Chain A
Amino acid sequence: MKVCAVGSGPSSLAFAADMAKFGYEVTVFEALHDIGGVLKYGIPEFRLPNSVVEAEINTLRDMGVNFVPDVIVGKTISYDQIHSMGFDGIFVGSGAGLPRFMNIPGENLIGVMSSNEYLTRINLMGAGRGQGYDTPVLKGKNVVVCGGGNTAMDSARTAKRMGAETVTLVYRRSVNELPARAEEVHHAMEEGIDFHVLHNPIEYIADENGRVKEAILQVMELGEPDASGRRSPVPVEGKTETIPADLVIVAIGVSPNPIIPSAFKGLEISRRGTIVVGEETMQSAVSDVFAGGDIVRGGATVILAMGDGRRAAASMNEYLSKKS
């Protein structure tokens, strides 16, 4: 029997490995030109070398998994076409690839970009590596990174490696609330990233060419715990600070990729835009569609994504065995 996975991030790779072991013919469709999802385009080379990811993918290739890049399921091929191609089950691991912005004045100036754009240009497209890749990336002397997660740490450390003189990480709560793994925070501090906590950007100012030159930050303090259980950041009335910034990287989170939720009819979609699946079965409201990873959880982790992929494989195997 033939099954396919949508996206080639860690959830799909784990799914494909198990399904191949169960004896299925597995095809992985990926929208980008390269396989690996966030492992390739997001997480930087100094933390996870592409050669390591590539070795894992080659192991899967040896197991017979077929990788097809440049196919956007829901655009290049439809749900119905997947069926007419003979696939009996579909695993959706399309991730949470949509960058969020803060919607503040000046955010569309030249030099303000999402962490996804910054990291993709460098990691996936090879920009700024001096190896003859065509894609350019803006460089900054004074780089400001907004956010406190792993993505913010990766962006800040990347900017440092790209030659920035100062890299300032602006986070609205305190060091204790940083969502990034402690180890990543530690590395960033060691590398000289300036942690500007309890500050939040409220506006960016342009130079005469339309490029960002300064960030205006609101000074914050910690209030009562909020829904997340962490103490909530509250603005200190009237207190702002202006710092130089010729490159601003916005790393405040991502939303679920909307392509599959809008292209597959009959799925149950949560208010946050995630695909709703059975907790153990990973099965969606469309019985032959299973899902896992960030498209189900919102921005989560590699380990959780892989666990989802494996559970989905076990559950799809059971579902398909019963059917046949």
Chain B
Amino acid sequence: MFKIVSKKMFSEKVACFEVEAPLIAQSRKAGHFVIVRLDEKGERIPLTIADADVEKGTITLVVQAVGASSTRINALNVGDCLADVVGPLGHATDIRKYGTVICCGGGVGVAPLLPIVKAMHEAGNKVIVVLAARTKDLIILEDEMRANSDEVLIMTDDGSYGQKGVITVGVEQVILREHVDKCVCIGPTIMMKFVALLTKKYDVPTIVSLNTIMVDGTGMCGACRVTVGGKTKFVCVDGPEFDAAEVNFDEMMSRMRAYRAEETEAMNKINIG
């Protein structure tokens, strides 16, 4: 059992947990994720390790409630336990001194972006963060991002905070303004697709971190497979990060809908119960 030692709400739907997992805290790097199972009947869901404290033996998870499992995890409190936390999984991010790096994201992607922002900044890069959301209340981790980067641009669809516009508008502004050596984008698949198209146009090498459906997270089932550069890859062991220009986002979006009916039903049960 993995005990929750602290909990903070970042927004109505986003919770930040510190969880006891001393072995994982020791071995994890930026970009790694864990598979979490809430209880005996729970699903195995992937969550990025946002941070870790080796001394305390804890890892930080930032969970956005989008469906049944994430909603139930976010209802847990300090002292409660997660049945299983296993990792670190996937390849760590290739952190190097690139020069100027744009780290952009939205939705479920913002939490996984934070450790990369931190590590890129620590490696001596000039880090420009672009965060996007529908509206002001959904912008999360802004302070943490500011503390670990050189500049933060905020984009909202309705203009309630920062600039009005989608993420690509902000990213393009930066690219037109100065030379950018690398871009990292994590967010909903559609967002990553459009950022990939934009940065390809300007020849900025871009990494995306794919958040496909997973089961085991250890390469055993293939539920997480995507097509990258015409070849089938398993996100959990070959990724989760890939060269954005090579990813078949349309196929990925279709595969993400595989369990839409079941997900909706599970969510309805929670809302009624």
Contacts and interface: CB of A to CB of B under 8 A. Distances in A.
Interface in B77-109: 83-89
Among A110, A120, A135, A258, chain B packs the most CB atoms within 10 A around the CB of: A135
Interface residues on B, range: 35 or more
A69 interface: yes
B23 interface: yes
Given A133-B41, A259-B218, A33 B232 contact: no
A173 B208 CA distance: 42
Interface string A93-113: 000011101010001111101
Nearest to B2: A70
B218 A134 contact: no
B23 to A, nearest CB: 5
A269 interface: no
A157 B62 CA distance: 41
Contacts of A103: 232
A108 B251 contact: yes
* B-side interface mostly: mixed
Contacts of A135: 43-44, 215
Q: Which of A32, A76, A258 has the most chain B CB atoms closer than 10 A to its own CB?
A: A76
A31 to B, nearest CB: 5
Interface in B206-235: 215-216, 218-223, 225-227, 232
Given A71-B23, A108-B232, A125-B44, A116 B86 contact: no
A228 interface: no
B11 interface: no
Interface string A67-78: 001111001111
Contact of A134 (B68, B86, B220, B258): B68
Say whether chain A's binding surface is mostly helix, strand, loop, or mixed. loop
Most buried by A among B69, B83, B85, B220: B220
A114 B86 contact: no
Contacts of B215: 117, 120-121, 125, 135
A103 B221 CA distance: 15
Contacts of A71: 23, 86
Contact of B222 (A69, A101, A111): A101
Q: Which 9 A-B pairs have the closest CB atoms?
A: A210-B254, A136-B262, A117-B221, A97-B220, A70-B86, A33-B84, A134-B43, A110-B258, A114-B222
18 contacts: A41-B220, A69-B84, A70-B84, A71-B86, A75-B89, A108-B226, A108-B227, A108-B232, A108-B255, A113-B221, A113-B223, A117-B222, A117-B223, A120-B216, A133-B41, A134-B41, A134-B266, A259-B219
Interface of B: 23-24, 27, 37-38, 41-44, 68-69, 83-89, 215-216, 218-223, 225-227, 232, 237, 251, 254-255, 257-259, 262-263, 266
Given A71-B86, A76-B88, A111-B258, 10 more contacts: A69-B84, A70-B86, A71-B23, A76-B23, A101-B225, A116-B220, A116-B221, A117-B221, A120-B215, A120-B220
